[in-house]
Structure 1
Amino acid sequence: MMWDDDTQDERSLADKLEKFQRGLLNIATGKERPHSETFKRLRHELLAAPELSTHLPDYIRKARDPDQFWEFIQPKFATYQERRQFIRNSMRPALDHLEGNERSPGVEPITQSLKTFDPENVGAAWQKALDRRNADPAGAITAARSLLETVCKHILDDAGAPYNNKADAGALWAQAAAVLNLAPHQHQEEVFRTILGNCQSVVNGLGAIRNKVGDAHGQGRRPVKPKPRHAELAVNLAGTMASFLIHTWKDKTDES
């Protein structure tokens, strides 16, 4: 059923928004109404998303359940077609905003790679980083580092390699790289040693920028505030590095 409480079709904010819109259309046109609790949950999650809330129509803030939305839409328009057009037009800014965020170069292949590897943890961590880039750059940077740590731990778990659960992203990357034969000292060719050393430097840098401008630590009277472009750089780097690890791990396991 389209509106049961199964969240498997809600992988991202865009999925939740589209599902919520379908529920609004159902209410407005006399079709099967969404479950009240599901409606309330989705409404709360959409309004709580800082990158989305300012793009949502005002009636979502006022209509707290299906009955209240019906009381709003029913007298406003006489025909189903008018109601459908109104809902779609009023929801378009929010949908366009999210779709615009998803069209960054390289995002889609990284998304597919990470979600295929582990949709509930890795995929969710990546989506959180994507969703926060514009409205919450500091949160996006923190999420980017968490993504790398999660991927490294998953690979180390799968490889049966012990690690310190409190280790930072740089240390976890070094361990995972060694398991995957990606550590610089495991190669003779200088070009590979340089590239792989730079990969370690990128991960160390992501950890450093997270400590400097992320939202995981308090700051003084002159806080450093990252901008969306800083968040986009951090998120894209983290996604690329995480995807590289995953593909290497898959190649390694396929060969064994």
Structure 2
Amino acid sequence: MSRYDESQNIKQNTPKHVAIIMDGNGRWAKARGKKRTSGHKAGVERVREVVEAAGELGVSSLTLFAFSSENWSRPQEEVSFLMELFVIALNREVKMLRKNGVRLQFLGDKSRFNPKLQSSINKAEEATADNEHLTLNIAANYGGRWDICNAVNKLLASKPDLERVEESDIEPFLATAGLPALDLMIRTGGETRISNFLIWQAAYAELYFSELLWPDFDADAFKAAVDDYSKRQRRFGKTGEQVVEKMSLNAE
């Protein structure tokens, strides 16, 4: 098979929805004798490159695990730095996202963020709301169990007389409602777990674990993950096929 044929094969089998657990910023910084904050800075720079690569490959939805609900337990100095870094990155990148047709949206409980960050998030979402080339989802103050509980609570609030809950009742209230079914979940940093990230959505997703620390996970590494996915033969079972097909139709 020629390189052209290989490229065409990757495009034909490109995952519609990719999620990434961006792990390893702190270890990357420590290995270089730097503060953890320098690792987070380097990680933000890597996000831009991976988003561009996703757009080039034809991925329609990219979800990044930026800040979990468990991350609040980190040292206050680091948490404060991350919040400020979010604001700076949003203000800096929103024009480029608009130019490249990227729609930005946040998944998670935004109420705990300070007013400055909430304002930046809202402005960035509004400014990119009409873009259709790629949807970039930033999971911040997000946890998979929170997502499920939040969805169930919303469901019960909308239907207080409901006596039995089905899977199809919950999905419209998840943070990812309206997005394609999750095809591929990537985790960097050498760990082989999903750490409470998109645990409902990952039920039928392919998993890919990279030894690279996130600041070292460049466009070529992302393309290698997509290439690996494109060569897999996915087996869902009857139930899985129905779930994935239904979610994909709802996202269209």
Q: Give the TM bin, normalised by the shorter chain.
A: under 0.3
Richer in helix (by share): 1
Which one scores higher on RCO, CA 8 angstroms, separation ≥ 6? Answer: 2
- TM-score, with length taken from structure 2: 0.23
Task: Name which one, 1 or 2, has greater alpha-carbon Rg.
Answer: 1
- TM-score, with length taken from structure 1: 0.23
Richer in strand (by share): 2
